[in-house]
Amino acid sequence: MVTATVLPDQTVVVEGNRIAAIGPTSQTEIPPNSTVVNCQHAYLMPGLADMHMHLRYNWLSDTWPVSPLKLYLANGVTTIRCFGPRGKTGRYGLTWRKEIESGRLDGPSILTCGPQLRGHFKENPEQIVIRQKYQHFDFIKIYAFVDRQEYHTIMSTAKKLNFYTAGHIPFQVGLDGILAEGMNEIAHIEELIWEVSELDRHRYFNNEGEWMSYAIQTTFSRFAPLLELNPREQERKIETMVVALANKLKDKPVPVCTTLVIDDLIVRKLFDPDDFLERPENRYLPLSYLERFRKGLGKHQLQFKGGEVFAPFKYMLDKKLLVALKAKNIPLLLSTDAGTGIMGAVPGFSLHDELSILVENGFTPYEALAAGTVVASKIVQRMNGLDEFGSIVPGKRADLLLLAKNPLDDVAHARSILGVMAAGRWYDQESISAMLDR
């Protein structure tokens, strides 16, 4: 994944959890007593990262038919980065990380922020930032309702502590505000859409539901006149808008998580629910979610009620933004927002859908895979100082994905998994099928 080429006839040596060597098979010595995996006629690539997902405390319970930690591994995802652990204090993510590192638990390497900073604080947010830093969370996640003053306190405390900051664009602060404060990363492409909505930045919201319906309604009424225009005129106006937004980011390129698979799912759930319900991977979702969905009570079914037509329009805007951001060389990070079990994105499987969406929107297969490998690792380095996954280089973590077909020819080939190595532990096809057994 350093260049878009295939190196034939290579041998990779792994010792412990690290890559020890890579080189032409004729010149690379295999240490005595090694376990040898014959990879002839197969393709080896670095394991993938889901750069925006959510851990949830009930992952190891029977709420999930199979633990999402295993769903990730089985799909070749060897790094996950949590954008807000849901439930409890969020420290279970740090516990699982240690258990996985020590081999007591099967799963990908975990990076995680602490509980989201959602605003309406009961204590000085400075204290929360300091606490999360010394609890060894990797970054802080800022949510949409943090007010201007709170945001400034959070950002200046984080800067003093050299603590990475990522999140939504708080609606009181806006894009210009977060760029001025130097927030390190934006949590979703869709955050940028609200920027053109002329939001009333002095409003108060009690919860996500209130904020989301306000954002959706305001944005929809802002764009409604556009829907009256002829397609070409409409396209031209939108083009101008998204390019202006992308331009704002280009001087200090702030990485953005893609999470487009959620848009795709929203449209499918609203307009083709039977198609959504037929997905084979639904068998891995919590049953309670599918029951709510069948009753029309899913999160997005409620959020878009009466404004369903906005969903495909918003998806179109997000895709245009993707293209504009890519054209300005803004780092884009492969990500899905999966994990909570309330949106229908299945951990691991959804990352492959995201890869396909990127390719459908102008990425080469190499560029899409890079967003979840080399590019992702470079951004993580800004966060914790370690560039240790995403390419097959001595010294990096042994996160590898063995495929039957070349993913540079077709990104869907990243699904043709013959085996996965996560931090030096090898899972062959048989152990992967066993992991997926409900």
Binding site for Zn ion (CB under 5 A): 83, 337
Closer Cβ to Zn ion, 17 or 132, answer by number: 132
Q: Which is nearer to Zn ion, 86 or 396 (CB)?
A: 86
Classify residue 185 as left (phi > 0), alpha (psi -120 to 50) or beta: beta
Q: How far apart are CA 351 and CA 259, in angstroms?
A: 9
Q: How far is the CB of 259 from Zn ion (least distance, A)?
A: 7
Using alpha carbons, select from 335, 385, 402 the residue that is nearest to residue 47. Answer: 402
> Least distance (Å) from Zn ion to the CB of residue 339?
8
Q: How far is the CB of 302 from Zn ion (least distance, A)?
A: 18
CB of 257 to Zn ion, least distance (A): 8
SS3 of residue 36 by DSSP? coil
Cβ atoms of 308 and 216 closer than 8 Å: no
| Distance (Å, whole) CA 407 – CA 405 | 6
Residue number, 92 or 366, with CB nearest to Zn ion: 92
- Pairing of β 109-112 and β 77-82: parallel
**Of residues 188 and 269, the one with the C-beta less far from Zn ion:** 188
Closest CB to Zn ion among residues 197, 259: 259
Nearer to Zn ion, 106 or 337 (CB): 337
Shortest gap between Cβ of 337 and Zn ion (angstroms)?
Answer: 4
Separation CA 85–CA 137 (nearest Å): 11
DSSP of 234-276: HHHHHHHHHHHHHHHHHSS---EE--THHHHHHHHHHH-HHHH
Instruction: Give the closest residue to 256 by CA, choosing from 319, 186, 193, 192.
Output: 186
Kindly state the smallest distance separating residue 350's Cβ from Zn ion, in Å: 12
